[in-house]
Each structure stands twice: as structure tokens, then as C-alpha cells.
Amino acid sequence: MKMDTKAHLIPDGFEEFESHAPYAAEHGPYYEKQIDEGTVVRAFRVEEKHLNSLGYVHGGMYMTFADSSLARAIFVKHNRRGVTLKMNSEFLAPAKKGDWVEAHTEVIRSTRSVAFVRGELKVGNRVVFRMDGLFHYIKADVTKGL
């Protein structure tokens, strides 16, 4: 593991991802690890700003990170950007400050206008959140990423 500028342990192979989306940038930093040409694992280290009043990751943070991760999966796999039409989510377990949360995503199907994506958020081997979504492709500058 290496240290980033905020003195958090970052697992080997992960690099900080600089988001061009103001909302996502506000909730990061996010990190990515390239698995193969069309697959990345996205992650974040749970900080104080991600917690609810009980000391666990806020449900809105899970959903924000999940939505961003699903959209990123589409971009990495198909070099296309999309907006969320629908996202289903299942809250399975809490994560706490200091946990390393990873998004493992998969593009299930892609048509001319929409993409179907699913994934899980994990802390180690423990699945804490499941999600699936439907995204509508948009015409945008794909050089910016997500």
C-alpha cells in the first residue's frame, strides 16, 4: 500500500481519479484500478464527510458513488457518456470511517441509445450495497471522462 497526499492508505494499483464533474469531485477523492481494457474498479476511503449521525456511510454517499461508478463503467467499456434514467439500490451493510469501499461494475447490455449496468460496493469481501441502472447515452465531449 502507498500513501496519498491526504495520508490515507491506498491499495497498490489504485490511482486517484480527477473528476470533471463538480458534484462527484466534492464527494471524492475517488480512485481507480484498471483491471483490463474495458474494466476498472473504482474506490474511495471513507472520511468523516461521508458519515451519517450514527457514524456509518450515509446512504446518499453510497448512492452517489454507485451512480458515478455505473456511469464510469459505461465510459470505460464503450467510450460513451450517459445520464441516469433509473437506478435500483439495495443497502446491505454499513461501512465506517477508514473503510476502503470498492465498486465492482459490469455493463450487461448496450444498445444504440441505452446501457444496462449493475454492480456491487464492497469492503474487503463483504458486499455492502448492490445497484443496477439504466443509462441514456448523450452526445458529449468524451475526452473529459467522468
H/E segment holding residue 27: helix 22-27
The three grid cell numbers given for residue 68, joined into one nine-digit string: 458515478
* Overall fold of domain 2-144: Thiol Ester Dehydrase; Chain A (3.10.129)
Domain boundaries, the chain: 2-144
The three grid cell numbers given for residue 119, joined into one nine-digit string: 454492480
Residue found under cell 450517459 = 82
Q: Say what the pTM is.
A: 0.88
pLDDT of residue 92: 98
- What backbone phi and psi angles, to 5 degrees, belong to 71? -65, -40
Choose between 139 and 124: higher pLDDT.
Answer: 124
Residue 37 pLDDT > 70, yes or no?
yes
Which tens digit of pLDDT belongs to each residue from 39-87?
A: 999 999 999 999 999 999 999 999 999 999 999 999 999 999 999 999 9
H/E segment holding residue 102: strand 100-110
- What backbone phi and psi angles, to 5 degrees, belong to 145? 70, -160
Identify the burial level of 94 via C-beta atoms within 10 angstroms of its C-beta, where 0-12 means exposed, 13-18 middle and 19 or more buried. middle
CA distance 79 to 69: 14
Which tens digit of pLDDT belongs to each residue from 74-101?
A: 999 999 999 999 999 999 999 999 999 9
The three grid cell numbers given for residue 70, joined into one nine-digit string: 455505473
Q: Which amino acid is at 96?
A: K
